[in-house]
Amino acid sequence: LVLTGKSYKFNRIRLIWLLQQQSLLQKSIWSLHVHDWTETKKFLPELNNEDFDAFVTEYSNNPDNINIMGQMGSYPGNYDVSLFDNVLFRLISETTFKSVCETPYLTEKTYLTMFNKLPFIIAGDVGSCRWLKRNGYKTYEEYFPVANYDNIVNPHERLQAVIFNSKYWLESMQNKQHIKQDVEHNFQQAIRQGKTNCDKIKHTLAQYDSDATVQDCLINPDWPGKNF
């Protein structure tokens, strides 16, 4: 499962192109939305304009029916749960793909993967797996041929390692029982973290004597507090 969102990022359009180059798209459920041609094309300098147009025309895909020009993101109620059924793993193209960062930027893309009980490979900031491990999650690197992929600073090399590991899992995933146990561990850990975060929000609301609910803070677009 490879849901990429907005395409004009190195780890989105280039990820799809590399998967296609390795004949892996035919084994995938993927999304590709190209609305900003210039910003997206710059990440595929190997292709001339004609070849880029042909690639986009052939491989554009929207399996989750996202309105790319409207609200983005896979928030509760805004994604197709069935996409997570009967797939081996998710290749997560996170929001950023930084080579140097103090704290990796991990979004709903990673956490919804855990809530839907899938193992994952992250095409995200350097140290994303390291940060998740520090916070009690399993990150599967012991099951990959390129175990240190998350720590590779060069973005081209990191993305190539992501592709290599993805190809390995698609063609010959091993240790499936251990991976299944790690998936269940991550689900339970995400539930625990979610409950802890909700408790913190409730405590903050009580401090300010607010009658708002946790749902207002997180998912109610009409709640006035969203503006602050």
In tens, the pLDDT along 127-172 reads 999 999 999 999 999 999 999 999 999 999 999 999 999 999 999 9
What is the phi/psi pair of residue 93, to 5°? -95, 95
pLDDT, mean over the chain:
90
Least confident range from 20-29, 37-46, 86-95, 199-208: namely: 199-208
| Residue-wise DSSP of 53-103 | HHHHHHH-B-TT---TTS--S--TTSS-GGGGTT-S-EEEE-S---SS-SS
HSE (side-chain half, CA atoms, 13 Å) at 153: 2
Predicted confidence (pLDDT) at residue 220 exceeds the cutoff of 70: no
More confident residue, 5 or 99: 99
Predicted confidence (pLDDT) at residue 200 exceeds the cutoff of 70: yes
Least confident range from 106-115, 153-162, 210-219: namely: 210-219
Q: Which residues pair with 12 in a beta bridge?
A: none
Cα 163 to Cα 111: distance, rounded to the nearest angstrom: 21
- What predicted TM-score, i.e. pTM, was given to this entire model? 0.88
Predicted confidence (pLDDT) at residue 195 exceeds the cutoff of 60: yes
- pLDDT computed for residue 35 by the predictor: 87
Predicted confidence (pLDDT) at residue 183 exceeds the cutoff of 50: yes
More confident residue, 189 or 76: 189
Predicted confidence (pLDDT) at residue 191 exceeds the cutoff of 90: yes
Predicted confidence (pLDDT) at residue 228 exceeds the cutoff of 50: no
Q: What is the DSSP letter of 199?
A: H
Length of the chain: 228
Mean pLDDT of the region 206-223? 76
Mean pLDDT of the region 219-223? 61
Contacts of 12 (CB under 8 A, 6+ apart): 4, 5, 6, 93
Residue-wise pLDDT tens digits, 68-90: 554 444 444 567 889 999 999 99
